[in-house]
Amino acid sequence: MLDIPFAPDHDPRAFRDALACFATGVTVVTIAGPDGPMGMTANSFASVSLDPPLVLWSPARSSSRFTYFTTAHFFAIHVLPADQAALCARFTRGGAGFTGLKAEISETGVPLLTDVLARFECEMHATHEGGDHMIVVGRVQKAVLRGGDPLVFANGTFGRFLTEA
């Protein structure tokens, strides 16, 4: 194996390629937008704390939906199963979003996707500067767990991580 050192500040493409080696799960974050339900695909999801129950995700400042998501008082994070790459694509730039998609609405008005592995209904807890992203921390008010094989993203490709029985 060949080690190729680089300076992340001087070679952002190499830095991005190195980060892509870390496999992540795939989520869709949803909010009640000013003109109806909104969603955004995100792989920047992580647990923060069990007590209190906190999770985070990080939307890009370059997103046209950035302000809506970083100022929403309530949001939901949906962990996608391995067979939902098409659902993931609906909420990326240029995707169909909620057009033609049925969703439940939470008590706080947030659109909720069904047939997901897990869902975290959150209240905004804090935001933190994160360079070209914002770190959004949510306090989990309600969680739903279905289980199954997760949709995974690494090296620019979707795949699956098979859990052992």
Provide, rounded to the nearest whole percent, the portion of the chain with pLDDT above 90.
76
Q: Considering the domain boundaries, does residue 162 fall inside one?
A: no
Q: pLDDT category, 46, cuts 50, 70, 90?
A: very high
Distance CA 145, CA 122 (A): 15
Report percent pLDDT > 70 for the chain. 95
Question: Among 4, 13, 6, 1, which Cα is nearest to 156's?
Answer: 13
- pLDDT at residue 165 greater than cutoff 80: no
Question: What residues form DSSP beta bridges with 104?
Answer: 112
Average of per-residue pLDDT values in the chain: 92
What range does the domain containing 113 cover? 24-155
Q: Give domain status of residue 103, yes or no.
A: yes
List the Cα angle 100/150/127 in 5-degree steps: 75
Element (H, E) at 71: helix 66-71
Q: Annotate 86-120 with DSSP letters as a single string.
A: HHHHHTSTT--TTTT---EE-TTS-EE-SS-SEEE
Q: 161 in a domain, yes or no?
A: no
**Is residue 138 in a domain?**
yes
Residues 48 and 77: their CA atoms lie apart, in Å, by 14
Q: Is residue 105 part of a domain?
A: yes
Instruction: Identify whether 120 is part of a domain.
Output: yes
Least confident of 1-10, 32-41, 78-87, 139-148: 1-10
The verdict on residue 8 lying in a domain is no
Q: Return the DSSP state at 63.
A: S
The structure tokens listed for 95 are: 């995707």
DSSP 163: P
Task: Provide the CATH number for the domain around residue 137.
Answer: 2.30.110.10
State the average pLDDT over residues 128-154.
Answer: 95
Query: What is the number of structural domains in the chain?
Result: 1
Helix, strand, or coil here: 19? helix
Assess if residue 19 is contained within a domain: no
* Count of Cβ atoms closer than 10 Å to residue 153 Cβ: 20
What pLDDT digit, counting tens, does each position of 98-121 carry? Answer: 999 999 999 999 999 999 999 999
* Alpha-carbon torsion, ordered 36, 37, 39, 45, to 10 deg: 120
